Structure 1
Amino acid sequence: MRSRDTLVNVGLLVLRIGIGLIFIIHGVPKLMGGVEGWTQLGSTMSIVGISFAPAFWGFMAAATEVVGGLFIILGLLHRPVAVMLVFTMIVAVLMHVTAGDPFTVYSNALKALVVFVALAITGPGVYSVDYRFLRRIA
C-alpha cells in the first residue's frame, strides 16, 4: 500500500503533466501567430491599463503558455512560473468578463487560474526538477 505522501506527489505529477500539456498545445498556435497575432493577443493588456507594446505582451503571453507549460511539467522554477500563469489567466478572465461574454466562454481560463493558484501554493512535489536540485519542495 502506498503512503499518503506518495499518492499526493503522484497526484501533483499527474496534474502538472496534464495542465502543462494543455497549455503547450493551447499556446503553440498563439506563439506561431506572428506579430499580427501577438498584437491582437497583447491588446488585451489594456484591460489592466497597459496599452503600449501590444505585440510584446502578446508574445510574452504565448511564450508563457508554452514555456510555462513545459516548466510546470518538469517542476522547474515551479512557483514563479505558476504565478506567471496565474497572472496570464487573470488577464484572460478579465478580458472575457469585461467583454460581457457568458461564463461558459471563460470558464476554462477560470479553471486554469484555480489550478495554477493551487500549484503555486502546494509546490511541484518530490517528482520535480526543483525538488531534485533543491532537495525541498520549492
Structure 2
Amino acid sequence: MKAVFKTTVNASYLDAALLVARVGVALLMFTHGIPKLGQLFSGEPIQYVDPIGLGVTLSLVLTVFAEVLCSTLLLIGFATRLAVIPLIVVMAVAFFMVHAADPINVKELAMLYLLFFIVLGVTGSGKYSVDYLISRKQA
C-alpha cells in the first residue's frame, strides 16, 4: 500500500515513460502533419487558417515544419527541448486562437498535445534518445 502513495520516481521507469510519451505523441502528431504536408505539395490552391496574419501559405509551412519535422526530431529524441518549442506554439495558437470560440470537446486535443509538449520541454527526452547519446559523448 505504501507504494501507491510514494512520491519518488525510479529513474529507469521515468526514462521508459519519457520514451513512451515522446514516441507516442510524435507518432500521433504525424496524423495531423502528414495530410498538411500533402496539401502543401499538392499543387492545389492552399486553403488553411491564418490566425496571426502571416498568410495562409506561410502559416501552413510553419505548421508542417512543426508537426512533421519537429515531430520527427521528437520521435528520435534529438534536440528535444528545441523541437518542442514550435510544437508548443502551434498547439497554443490552435487552442487559444483557431479554436477559441469552439466548445472544449473540439479544442481539448490541442490542449492535450500542448501539455505533453510542455512536459517534454521541461523534462527533456530521457535516456533512450539521441540527446542522451550526445550528452554522454560530450561528458
Alignment TM-score, normalising by the size of structure 2 = 0.83
Are the aligned partners of 1:36 and 1:55 in contact in 2 as well (CA < 8 Å)?
A: no
Question: Sequence identity of aligned pairs in percent?
Answer: 29
**What are the residue-to-residue correspondences of 1:21-36 with 2, within 5 Å?**
21-34=27-40, 36=45
Moved over 6 A (4+): none
Partner of 2:51: 44
Q: Output the aligned Cα RMSD.
A: 1.7
Q: What residue is the counterpart of 1:13 in the other structure?
A: 19
Q: Deviations over 1:59-113 (max 9, x none)?
A: 111221011111111111100111211111000002101xx11000000000000
SS in 2 for 1:127: coil
Gaps of 5+ in 1: 46-50
Q: Does 1:121 align with 2:122?
A: yes
Deviation per residue, 1:30-83 (Å, 9 max, x gap): 11112634x513x122xxxxx233301211112210111111111111001112
Q: Kindly provide the amino acid, as one letter, of the partner of residue 56 in structure 2.
A: P
- Mapped to 1, the partners of 2:115 and 2:54 lie a distance apart of 28
In the TM superposition, what whole-angstrom CA distance separates every residue of 1:17-42 from its partner, at most 9, and x where no partner exists?
Answer: 100000112210011112634x513x
Deviation at 1:117, TM superposition (A): 0.4
Q: Taking structure 1 as reference, are residues 134 and 27 closer, same or farther at Cα in structure 2, changes over 3 Å only?
A: same
How many positions carry a matched residue from both structures? 125
Q: What runs of 5+ residues in structure 2 fail to find an aligned partner?
A: 1-8
Stretch of structure 1 that moved more, 53-62 or 15-24: 53-62
The 3-state SS of whatever aligns with 2:66 is helix
Residue identity matched to 1:129: V
Q: What residue number does 1:60 align with?
A: 62
Whether the 8 Å contact between 1:79 and 1:119 is mirrored in structure 2 is yes
1:96 corresponds in structure 2 to 99
Give the corresponding residue for 1:79: 81
